Structure 1
Amino acid sequence: MPAGQAMNPPLALADFGSFYAGGRQVRIAGLPARDIAFTQTASLAYDPNGLYHFEQAYVQYFVPAALAHPLPIVLLHGGGMTGAMWEQTPDGRPGWLQHFLRQGFAVYVVDNVERGRAGWAPFREVWPEAPIIRNAEESWSLFRFGRAEDFAARRAFDGQRFPVSAFDAFIRHAVPRWLGNNDAALEGFCAVLDRVGPCLVMAHSHGGEVAYRALHARPELVRGVIGVEPSGFSPEVAAASVAGKPFLFVYGDYLDATPLWERLCDAGRAYAGELERQGARVTAWRLADMGVAGNSHMPMMDDNSDDIAARIGAWIRGAAA
């Protein structure tokens, strides 16, 4: 068992599995063939031209035997990450996937378009721009683990709850992303919702934009959204899509650490206000203002992640009954 992982009794599942959803078929033509060696003993002539399927999402789902809530939770990762961010913390503790299962929720973990097991398109004919990937230095400051100038020494903010000793394990989560794929990510996620049915969506960071846009594209399916430090939103808020539905916004600590986070918090407040004006039931948590200090941009990995998951679960049972 990894160091720091809590002992938990076995969890009984009624069902589990996985599926792909959405995407499109693309025919590549006009590229040169070449000889390749894909093992030390196997070589062949490789022709890249042909029919492919790209922009699908991958979903792994788990349904507990003791189901305590009728709506499943769909977990949507942030930018440059995959569904693995929900599975386990960098220092080996159970992730929110396990926490919400143990609270009796069916859980669907998404690798959206271009991420993880969803796969990606290597052809510029499909995605013309080059991908980016987040480096360790950017992660350190952007995710509010500590000041940029303290990265080399790994000196975190005072009271920081992220397991800084496992930071090098954390940056293994980073994967390439294509900045022009937001519309494709929306379409892939909507295809997931079509398979899952009515649900609650829990979206982190960049996943917020996808989730709030999907709320408007599939209002009959998205029955509420938990935005964990969302960094994007839908361009408009329609009463027909949001009225009467519960919304939770969760923010951690050190939000004044950078001008970017001050702007993102202002944008989140404005969006929450528009949701309320259109009839939504909105709850906003600033954990530090609630006496829960020290949380980073990654509360699902911080050392009090189980407490925050329990708080969110209680909110769901009260607000999304």
Structure 2
Amino acid sequence: MFRVVTSLVLVLSLLFLLTSVQTKSIQGTLHRRNYFYVGEHYVNAPGTDNGTEIAFGQVYVEHLVPANVTQPFPILFIHGNGMTATNFLNTPDGRLGWADYFMSQGFEIYLVDQPSRGRSAWQIGVDGNQSAFNVALVESRFTAPQLFNLWPQAALHTQWPGNGTAGDPVFDDFYASMMPSLTSDEESSIKVKAAVGKLLDDIGPVILLTHSQSGQFGWILGDFRPALIKTIIALEPIGPPFINAVFPPLTPARPFGLTEIPITYSPPITTSSDLHKQINPSLSNSSVGVTCFQQTSPARQMVNLVGIPTLVVTSQASYHTDYDDCTVAYLQQAGVPVTHVRLEDVGIFGNGHMMFMEKNGLDIAEDVVLEWIQKTVQC
């Protein structure tokens, strides 16, 4: 009998230990969660003029509040093209994401789905056309660039959790999360300015963190509501100025320098043609498809951004390694106080464009982003 009881105790102890380990592996930061929408407008439903209205232009907002808020300003995350706010909740292989990490550091978090994307409704006949990333594009640019070598540094990519190709469970979960996006970045910019600008009015001031396509929204929102943004943290922001790079066709883009829609310059501009540009030969590289433009001297200043400390972060193995320097140089020439961190320069290696999802993503959150906030953002 004693042996049976002893064995039972051992089994129960092992089960308790196993449960504890499993619980520990998935537990996050205790927090409250709610969601809301902001920025909606009403319009007659397509094909009607009888007062049958629908809402459009709104953004879905997820608000996460840790049990112990110790930071004076929340972080507002805006995801990139094809993505939604889920980017920052956890990683495709189930690890805790940046939202949880920054809550553990005492920050409130706001996450949005861009207008006409994900949980922010796309209205047929009202919103513009959509497009989606195919599997080959995602594999070659984001998750397995080392297999395609479309740019010189791609071979250095080592941090994606899995082999990064279709059929791998981590890739499949990631790709399944992707959403059609508005084809026009100009339309996206207009709608983000209106809806997220309204959100800032409601919740600001904030720390604004953008990624990729949403990088230009940082400059737009900083220009639109400069008093409500304490710092802009741009993870590989869309660029370079005035023209697309690396991936053909290398067509003109961002006619206002780094944005598709006007922002404030001094001296003022009336059209994009007022921004006179010339090639910066030291940062251009035709062999990798990068033409770097800068303003002709004297350069107009982005006057509403000159008081917002800005951080641009670039991964070692991303295609952004070839042109983020050009984006940073344009910001500096326009008077923006910008710091550029290349991850390999601070001992963080092997990352691609989706750095915050990768195996060492929390190192980037702690050693780069949190450190920047702590030394830059004042109460």
Shorter-normalised TM range: 0.7 to 0.9
The structural deviation recorded for 1:198 is 0.4
Q: Is residue 2:320 matched to residue 1:316?
A: no
Higher mean displacement: 22-31 or 293-302: 22-31
SS for the counterpart of 1:242 is coil
Match of 1:23? 40
More helix by share: 2
TM-score of the superposed pair, with normalisation by structure 1:
0.81
Deviations 1:94-134 (A, max 9, x none): 111101100111110111201111111122xx134x31000
Match of 1:172? 176
Match of 1:40? none
Match of 2:96? 94
Match of 2:30? 12
TM-score of the superposed pair, with normalisation by structure 2:
0.69
CA contact (8 A) 1:69 1:317 kept: no
SS for the counterpart of 2:62 is strand
Q: How far apart are the structure 2 equivalents of 1:264 and 1:79?
A: 18
CA contact (8 A) 1:206 1:231 kept: yes
Q: Is residue 2:310 matched to residue 1:247?
A: yes
Match of 1:161? 159
CA contact (8 A) 1:96 1:300 kept: yes
Change (3 A) 1:6 1:295: farther
Q: Is residue 2:221 matched to residue 1:214?
A: yes
Number of matched pairs: 289
CA contact (8 A) 2:157 2:352 kept: no
Structure 2 gap segments, 5+ residues each: 1-18, 164-169, 240-257, 266-300
Q: Is residue 2:191 matched to residue 1:184?
A: yes
Q: How far apart are the structure 1 equivalents of 2:27 and 2:178?
A: 31
More strand by share: 1
Q: How far apart are the structure 1 equivalents of 2:178 and 2:26?
A: 28
Structure 1 counterpart of 2:360, from 292, 301, 304 = 304
CA contact (8 A) 1:5 1:92 kept: no
Deviations 1:254-308 (A, max 9, x none): 24x5xxx466424422234235x34x2x221100222211001011101001111
Structure 1 gap segments, 5+ residues each: 32-47
Written as runs of structure 1 = structure 2, the 5 A alignment for 1:192-271 is 192-232=199-239, 233-234=258-259, 240-255=303-318, 261=320, 264-271=323-330
Change (3 A) 1:50 1:86: same
Change (3 A) 1:170 1:10: closer
The structural deviation recorded for 1:147 is 4.5
SS for the counterpart of 1:7 is helix
The structural deviation recorded for 1:240 is 4.3
Amino acid at match of 1:175: M
Amino acid at match of 1:200: I
Deviations 1:180-237 (A, max 9, x none): 3221122122122122110010000001111210110111111210001111534656
Q: How far apart are the structure 1 equivalents of 2:74 and 2:199?
A: 13
Q: How far apart are the structure 2 equivalents of 1:9 and 1:53?
A: 38
Amino acid at match of 1:293: F
Change (3 A) 1:310 1:289: same
The structural deviation recorded for 1:137 is 0.8
Instruction: Using CA pairs under 8 Å that are at least 6 residues apart, name the structure with larger relative contact order, 1 or 2.
Output: 1
- Kindly report the root-mean-square deviation, in angstroms, between the aligned alpha carbons of the 2 structures: 2.8
The structural deviation recorded for 1:8 is 6.1
Change (3 A) 1:159 1:55: closer
Q: How far apart are the structure 2 equivalents of 1:266 and 1:253?
A: 13
Q: How far apart are the structure 1 equivalents of 2:322 and 2:159?
A: 23
Amino acid at match of 1:265: D
Change (3 A) 1:54 1:69: same
Q: How far apart are the structure 2 equivalents of 1:211 and 1:150?
A: 30
CA contact (8 A) 1:137 1:148 kept: no
Amino acid at match of 1:173: S
Q: How far apart are the structure 1 equivalents of 2:361 and 2:201?
A: 30
Match of 2:298? none
Deviations 1:119-154 (A, max 9, x none): 11122xx134x3100011101222263256489xxx
Q: How far apart are the structure 2 equivalents of 1:131 and 1:5?
A: 41
Q: How far apart are the structure 1 equivalents of 2:28 and 2:226?
A: 36
CA contact (8 A) 1:144 1:254 kept: no
CA contact (8 A) 1:57 1:110 kept: yes
Q: How far apart are the structure 2 equivalents of 1:114 and 1:265?
A: 28
